[in-house]
């Protein structure tokens, strides 16, 4: 029997990654190509790894963002993910959809997006880290919160699972190519029953917690479209589509038209009694955008919560 010679193979670092460039990707830029292979890193972070000499091509340290060639062996040492300050907490989540790039969450009312002064934990971010501990954005363990909903606003929310998805979705929000549709229960019956509110919004000079229409500083352009879907007594259910994304935009615009969101304790006139809802009746119903992984147009909806007491 021939004795087996033991060979001491070099141990690969746990974050050592190796790729071989296929024929179809020849000629692409190194950074652009790597962004698709290592989705947890942003363009800036990959460029930083090149600068720090952490990326090799064919055994030689990559010096710049050069074109790659078919068969190139690309290696990089990925630093371990940075610890997060977020405390994982077992908070129930309604996940409407999950794939390699995104999560679609139906956020309940009363849940903050992330820790803030006076609210160090028990937020959506804490719940996401608990449920999905492998969420890594730019080599930091954290969820990619692409956009936000007010604490007492419920509904559909997009979460990026990696840096590339976060970058692509943020670009769509900035370019206003993402469509968001809300359902709002308001006081009264807007006249006309379908229309637009086009008034600038900015910080309220008299209250740092509020926004206001046409503030002395001029504010920023804000455009909101609405249509009445149903009426019930002295209340109306509206479909609302904001074209811009100003803070509290829908609530501020509707209050400005004297049709505040029912239960809005900041912009409405609320009389506390047993019939007063526990939160403002505003729900993010539908969102439509280009999927960051496939570029296909996709749409997600979150059913209207029971506390509205009305069906669409």
pLDDT the model gives residue 4: 36
- Give residue-wise pLDDT tens across range 36-70: 888 778 888 889 889 888 899 999 999 888 899 99
Average pLDDT over residues 102-126: 93
| Positions marked catalytic | 150
Give the sign of the dihedral formed by CA 4, CA 8, CA 14, CA 18: negative
Average pLDDT over residues 291-309: 95
Whole-model pTM over 0.75 = yes
In order of 53, 148, 311, the CA distances from 141 in angstroms are: 24, 19, 39
The rounded mean pLDDT for the chain is 89
pLDDT the model gives residue 133: 86
167, 133: one domain: yes
Q: Which tokens sit at 102?
A: 């995104």
State the Cα–Cα distance between residues 43 and 46, nearest whole angstrom.
Answer: 5
192, 113: one domain: no
148, 53: one domain: no
11 within a domain of the structure (yes/no):
no
- Give residue-wise pLDDT tens across range 151-199: 999 999 999 998 889 999 999 999 999 999 999 999 999 999 999 999 9
28 within a domain of the structure (yes/no):
yes
91, 121: one domain: yes
Out of 50, 77, 104, a domain closes at: 77
162, 249: one domain: no
Treating both helix axes as pointing N-terminal to C-terminal, what angle do 43-51 and 30-37 enclose, rounded to 10 degrees? Answer: 120
In order of 101, 106, 178, 300, the CA distances from 289 in angstroms are: 13, 16, 5, 9
Q: Which has more confidence, 42 or 17?
A: 17
Q: Which has more confidence, 285 or 310?
A: 285
State the Cα–Cα distance between residues 220 and 243, nearest whole angstrom.
Answer: 13
**DSSP 8-state assignment for residue 279:** S
303 within a domain of the structure (yes/no):
no
122, 27: one domain: no
197 within a domain of the structure (yes/no):
yes
Lowest mean pLDDT among 85-94, 133-142, 187-196, 268-277: 268-277
CATH number of the domain to which 219 belongs: 3.30.2350.10
**Whether the predicted pLDDT of 200 surpasses 60:** yes
42, 136: one domain: no
Average pLDDT over residues 300-304: 97
pLDDT the model gives residue 275: 67
**Whether the predicted pLDDT of 34 surpasses 70:** yes
292 within a domain of the structure (yes/no):
no
pLDDT the model gives residue 181: 98
163, 195: one domain: no
Number of domains in the chain: 3
124, 214: one domain: no
Q: How many CA atoms lie within 13 A of 279 on its CB side?
A: 17
CATH number of the domain to which 50 belongs: 3.10.290.10
Burial per residue of 194-206, b for 16 or more beta-carbon CB atoms within 10 angstroms, e otherwise: eeebebbbbbbee
pLDDT the model gives residue 274: 59
Q: Which has more confidence, 274 or 229?
A: 229
User: Could you list the residue range(s) of the whole structural domain that residue 69 is in?
Assistant: 16-77
State the Cα–Cα distance between residues 226 and 253, nearest whole angstrom.
Answer: 11
**Whether the predicted pLDDT of 287 surpasses 50:** yes
Query: Which of 23, 93, 288 is closest to 172 using CA atoms?
Result: 288
How confident is residue 273, by pLDDT bands cut at 50, 70 and 90? low
pLDDT the model gives residue 10: 37
235 within a domain of the structure (yes/no):
yes
Out of 116, 151, 175, a domain closes at: 175
297 within a domain of the structure (yes/no):
no
State the Cα–Cα distance between residues 283 and 2, nearest whole angstrom.
Answer: 73
Out of 114, 145, 175, a domain closes at: 175
- Give residue-wise pLDDT tens across range 115-129: 888 888 999 999 999
Average pLDDT over residues 104-119: 92
pLDDT the model gives residue 7: 34
pLDDT the model gives residue 266: 93
9 within a domain of the structure (yes/no):
no
């Amino acid at each position: 029997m021939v004795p087996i010679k033991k060979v001491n193979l070099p141990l690969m670092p746990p974050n050592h990654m190796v790729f071989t460039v296929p024929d179809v990707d020849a000629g692409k830029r190194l950074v652009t190509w790597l962004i698709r292979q290592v989705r947890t890193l942003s363009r800036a972070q990959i460029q930083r790894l090149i600068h720090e000499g952490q990326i090799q091509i064919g055994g030689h340290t990559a010096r710049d963002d050069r074109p790659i060639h078919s068969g190139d062996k690309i290696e990089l040492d990925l630093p371990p993910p940075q610890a997060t300050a977020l405390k994982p907490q077992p908070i129930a989540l309604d996940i409407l959809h999950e794939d390699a790039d995104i999560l679609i969450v139906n956020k309940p009312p009363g849940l903050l997006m992330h820790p803030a002064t006076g609210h160090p934990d028990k937020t959506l971010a804490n719940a996401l880290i608990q449920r999905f501990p492998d969420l890594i954005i730019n080599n930091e363990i954290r969820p990619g919160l692409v956009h936000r909903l007010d604490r007492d606003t419920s509904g559909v929310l997009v979460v990026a699972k990696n840096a590339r998805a976060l970058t692509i979705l943020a670009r769509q929000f900035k370019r206003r190519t993402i469509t968001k549709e809300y359902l709002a229960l308001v006081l009264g019956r807007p006249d006309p029953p379908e229309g637009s509110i086009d008034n600038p919004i900015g910080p309220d000079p008299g209250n740092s917690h509020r926004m206001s229409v046409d503030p002395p500083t001029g504010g920023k352009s804000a455009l909101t479209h609405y249509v009445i879907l149903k009426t019930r007594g002295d209340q109306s259910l509206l479909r609302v589509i904001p074209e811009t994304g100003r803070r509290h935009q829908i609530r501020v615009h509707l209050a400005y038209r004297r049709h505040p969101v029912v239960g809005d304790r900041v912009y409405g006139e609320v009389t506390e009694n047993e019939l007063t809802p526990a939160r403002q009746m505003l729900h993010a119903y539908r969102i439509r955008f280009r999927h960051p992984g496939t570029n296909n147009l996709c749409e997600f909806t979150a059913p209207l919560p029971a506390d509205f007491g009305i069906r669409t």
